[in-house]
Structure 1
Amino acid sequence: METEVSWSIHVQPLDGDKAWLSESPDAVLRTASVGKLLLLAVVAERIAAGEQDPDERIRWDDSEFVRDSGLWHALDQRDLSVVDACRLVGAVSDNLATNVLLRHVGLDAVAAYADRHGLAPMALLDRIRGEGRDPSLPGVAATLSRASAASVVRYLRLLHDGTVDPMVQDWLVLGTDLSMVASAFGLDPLAHAEDDRGFLLVNKTGTDSTVRADVGLVSTAGGTVAYAVLANWEPGTDPRDDVLARMRQFGDDIRARLSEGAA
């Protein structure tokens, strides 16, 4: 029996009105770590405004310690600068750095940023909870983040035009997860901060046991395309191979269209 997968997809060239691909773009799905984009935007805005010292040291405490994605939990260093924590989130979607930054700026500030820029339903709803997520408990959200593909593309447009401070792109270009849509470009996952093969990629992914999400900007000499490809399925099923294969197909399509435009 084929596992049902819910998709929300939007692929939009930023210099044109017509989307290249759109499938349930307004469907609101769980997006796992994609919501960290909003947190990074708030921190960057505060640094740019002089309200946050990028070199301020922040330290994790036992109550927010989590493992899984990231590196900080495996390091001996218990404190980092704010900007290094942001780099860890951009590079390896660091859960511990996310929790410390979120405590530092506050979830309300993240929600206010999203409201101010008209990004709903894109939202970061909670911190990462390594002990499991029980929404029956006070203050515990049912999921880490949510969005529609269309709302994420709105964020990406703001990132491209500089409304979201360019520091965020500097952090995201360090990202090491090119396993989904971005796999189509054949870039070095550990070093793609510069133009390669005529493409410059900035992306953020989100994964958990029932989510695969890849969102980003791909730029060539001919322009920039924003994409958001989100997939959800029910617990107890595992359609990852099929989901990843389809996400790669979307990446192949984006690459082919961009290459045609550059020809």
Structure 2
Amino acid sequence: MGNPPEPARDTEPLRSSRRGNRRLPRRAAIGRRSFTSTLRALEELAASGAKISVRINDLDRGTTVLAGDDFVTLPVGGVGVVPLLIEVAAGFESGLLDPLEIIDRSQVEPVAVAGVWQHLKAPALPLSDLAVLTASTGDALAANALLARVGLPAVRARIESLGLSRAALLDRFRDERGPDDAPHFALGSTRELAEVFAALVNSQAVSAGVSAQVAEWLSLNHDLSLVAAATGLDPFSHENDEHGLLFINKTGRDDGVRVEAGVLAGPRAGVSYALIICFDDLSILHRMRAHDAFRVLGVDLMEYVF
């Protein structure tokens, strides 16, 4: 997977207002920021035949902390809703979309792979609520409703305008994919995923308003079971952490695919990260090995930012 470069000298963090001034001694900081455990876990998975792509960027220094096959395009599952959410937020800002426009569930083809709207009594919801459900619970029906409203060509154009040459939203969510359907919901690379999340927290995705709106939606994400398991955050309430931890993320899951991308910032540093693992889901043990690698990365990231 390659070795992470030695961290650069400390500089004033870009988001110092979000983090305290506590600093570790330089020698101790380097010792705790090696990502050796992550490299070992990923190399073991790669040796077993898994396809792995990883990218970590230091947000303050603008440097690459860790990269391995980060240019490779792989399935990203539900992480593919991020450009969809960006397109929706841009529509709200420009006035092309009304956040309170009501979408009737009966007008959307049923899909049961994930989410809560299918279980709610409310037969119709406004676009803004559908965006919240998409970001917070990975709601496939809500995401499909948003996609039907803005159109796949518009999202693809947004992906291109964001400069994402290795990303694609191929299709809507489906319970089953037949021979005439796209093989995946979305594709992407960890390099570009990490860049998108960095752009969101640095107010550079379309505009400051769009970036803030999408980051707010993603901050509601309930899935803290992979990388985020190491943060100790409450899955249902982690917007304003008392320890000054800034965190947004999105996860993706499919058969033999696990993905997480996000931003993690603490008192010492901030990073944008992305990890994709495609593996043979032959048993629960194979799946747990993949999940464990995400959690090892989470521990290393926490040591890096604290």
- Could you tell me the TM-score, scaled by structure 1's length? 0.92
**Structure 2 match to 1:176:** 222
- Separation in structure 2 between the aligned mates of residue 103 and residue 208 of structure 1, nearest angstrom: 22
The answer (yes or no) to whether the contact 1:30–1:145 under 8 Å persists in 2 is yes
**Structure 1 match to 2:201:** 160
- Separation in structure 2 between the aligned mates of residue 79 and residue 9 of structure 1, nearest angstrom: 39
Cα offsets for 1:26-81 (capped at 9, x unmatched): 11111110000010000000101111110110112365211121100111111100
Matched residue type, 2:237: A
Matched residue type, 2:217: W
Q: In structure 2, do the counterparts of structure 1 residues 28 and 51 end up closer, same or farther at CA, with 3 Å as the change threshold? A: same
Cα offsets for 1:143-194 (capped at 9, x unmatched): 0111110011121122122233111111111110001111111111111011
Q: Which moved more, 1:159-168 or 1:199-208?
A: 159-168
1:41 aligned counterpart, secondary structure: helix
Aligned: 1:69 with 2:87:
no
Q: Which moved more, 1:192-201 or 1:74-83?
A: 192-201
- Separation in structure 2 between the aligned mates of residue 151 and residue 16 of structure 1, nearest angstrom: 18
Q: Which moved more, 1:89-98 or 1:239-248?
A: 239-248
- Separation in structure 2 between the aligned mates of residue 72 and residue 85 of structure 1, nearest angstrom: 9
Q: Pick from 260, 271, 274: which aligns with 1:228?
A: 274
How far residue 257 of structure 1 moved from its aligned partner, in angstroms, is 1.0
How far residue 222 of structure 1 moved from its aligned partner, in angstroms, is 4.3
Q: Pick from 169, 182, 185: which aligns with 1:144?
A: 185
Matched residue type, 2:193: V
**Structure 2 match to 1:20:** 65
In the TM superposition, 1:40-51 aligns within 5 A as 40-51=85-96
The answer (yes or no) to whether the contact 1:38–1:123 under 8 Å persists in 2 is no
Cα offsets for 1:93-144 (capped at 9, x unmatched): 10000111100000000000010111121221100112x112x32xx21101
- Separation in structure 1 between the aligned mates of residue 288 and residue 257 of structure 2, nearest angstrom: 12
**Structure 2 match to 1:133:** 177
The answer (yes or no) to whether the contact 1:217–1:224 under 8 Å persists in 2 is yes
**Structure 2 match to 1:189:** 235
Matched residue type, 1:193: E
1:19 aligned counterpart, secondary structure: strand
How far residue 244 of structure 1 moved from its aligned partner, in angstroms, is 1.0
The answer (yes or no) to whether the contact 2:169–2:186 under 8 Å persists in 1 is yes
- Separation in structure 1 between the aligned mates of residue 226 and residue 215 of structure 2, nearest angstrom: 19
Q: In structure 2, do the counterparts of structure 1 residues 158 and 17 end up closer, same or farther at CA, with 3 Å as the change threshold? A: closer
- Could you tell me the TM-score, scaled by structure 2's length? 0.79
Q: Which has the larger radius of gyration?
A: 2
1:84 aligned counterpart, secondary structure: helix
Q: List alignment gaps of at least 5 residues for structure 2.
A: 1-46
**Structure 2 match to 1:247:** 294
State the Cα RMSD in Å.
1.6
Q: In structure 2, do the counterparts of structure 1 residues 63 and 17 end up closer, same or farther at CA, with 3 Å as the change threshold? A: closer
The answer (yes or no) to whether the contact 2:105–2:124 under 8 Å persists in 1 is yes
Q: In structure 2, do the counterparts of structure 1 residues 81 and 176 end up closer, same or farther at CA, with 3 Å as the change threshold? A: same
* Matched length: 254
The answer (yes or no) to whether the contact 1:3–1:237 under 8 Å persists in 2 is no
- Separation in structure 1 between the aligned mates of residue 239 and residue 63 of structure 2, nearest angstrom: 28
Q: Pick from 91, 105, 112: which aligns with 2:157?
A: 112
- Separation in structure 1 between the aligned mates of residue 242 and residue 260 of structure 2, nearest angstrom: 20
**Structure 1 match to 2:167:** 122
Matched residue type, 2:202: D
